Structure 1
Amino acid sequence: MEKARQFLEKGAASNGADRVSRITFPPHRAHQESSFYEYFILRGVRVDRVQPGSISFSFRVPPRLTDGEGNLARGATASLIDELGAAVINQGSQPMDVSVDMSISYISAAKMNDELEITSRRLGQVGRYFGTNVLIRNKTTGEVVAEGRHSLFRAPATASKM
């Protein structure tokens, strides 16, 4: 354990981690503003079309969301599916939806600066349980990059105790 601690301490001094550890973010006010995470993932996403049960988005793959090979990182793809799948069932004043399950098929790579078309569809609802489908395509080639099925649960609104 001591060797691991020493290794990490040496690595931290050489790669600037000490500066990163001093970065501070103000506390997030839930339901009032976007979190750092949402801002980081969704910055650059544009809404193209809104129809009942469906939203289409455009997104150019930024360098911050790519892996070492310049492809859209799989974690970034999963985050986009999570956020944009929730967007199609968002009802503003309702409590936040909680992701229950996601199943993602990664079909092809999207490169840095590729323009993507993302379509989020509401599949259905049973009680407070919702299903969505998110399809990500390369806008230029039409090739499917990924497809995700996303299940969400909406917590019941709680009465104020005041």
Structure 2
Amino acid sequence: MEKPKEFLENFAIEGLDRVSRLNFPPHRPHIDSSFYEYFVLRGIRVDRVQPGSITCSFKVPHRLTNKDGNLVPGAIATMVDELGAAVIHVEGQPMDVSIDMSINYLATAKIGDELEITSRVLGRKGNYSGTIVLIRNKATGEVVAEGRHSLFSKPASKM
């Protein structure tokens, strides 16, 4: 029992040291991106915006990979959440609230891989919207992940 405890204690100290060296701007709610958004989404380039569709490019950075050099699932989940919401967002309106998200992780992406991320609106009914986000390796065409995202928008005030 001592070996696992020692490993976890050392890992926690090393992790704390790494986190303390991170440098990011202070968060101003509703003005700036949160730390999580800033950390994961930094480097995404919007290539094309059409009604109901957004296509982006992203080169996998070292900061979002595990010890094997693979893009971590949490970064993929953040991309599905953010880009699924972005495709239905209306400027000047509050961001929609995520209701449900499901992600199929189908392949790995490595440091330096160029990814193409496509977000499309599946449909809308009242204040409910559904989107799909497809993350594909640009070089091989292989699908890395597919996410479906359900969102709810705040109803307009009747006052």
TM-score, normalized by length of structure 1? 0.82
The runs of 5 or more residues in structure 2 that have no matched partner are: none
* Contact 1:12–1:18 (Cα < 8 Å) also in 2: no
Secondary structure in structure 1 of the residue aligned to 2:82: helix
Aligned to 1:105: 104
Q: CA RMSD in A?
A: 3.0
Structure 2 CA distance for aligned equivalents of residues 30 and 70 of structure 1: 33
**1:56 counterpart = 2:72:** no
**Which moved further from structure 2: 26-35 or 129-138?**
26-35
Structure 1 CA distance for aligned equivalents of residues 114 and 150 of structure 2: 26
Which residues in structure 2 correspond to 1:72-87 (within 5 Å)?
Answer: 72-87=71-86
Structure 1 CA distance for aligned equivalents of residues 18 and 105 of structure 2: 35
Structure 1 CA distance for aligned equivalents of residues 88 and 23 of structure 2: 32
Instruction: Provide, for residues 57-101 of structure 1, a one-character-per-residue CA deviation record: whole Å limited to 9, x for no partner.
Output: 000001111112111111111111111111101112111211111
Secondary structure in structure 2 of the residue aligned to 1:90: coil
Which residues in structure 2 correspond to 1:113-152 (within 5 Å)?
Answer: 113-152=112-151
> Percent identity of the aligned residues?
66
Aligned to 2:91: 92
TM-score, normalized by length of structure 2? 0.84
Cα pair distance change 1:22/1:157, threshold 3 Å: farther
Residues matched between the structures, number:
156
Q: Which amino acid aligns with 2:14?
A: N
* Superposed displacement of residue 17, structure 1: 2.7
* Contact 2:85–2:95 (Cα < 8 Å) also in 1: no
Greater CA radius of gyration, 1 or 2? 1
Cα pair distance change 1:56/1:25, threshold 3 Å: closer
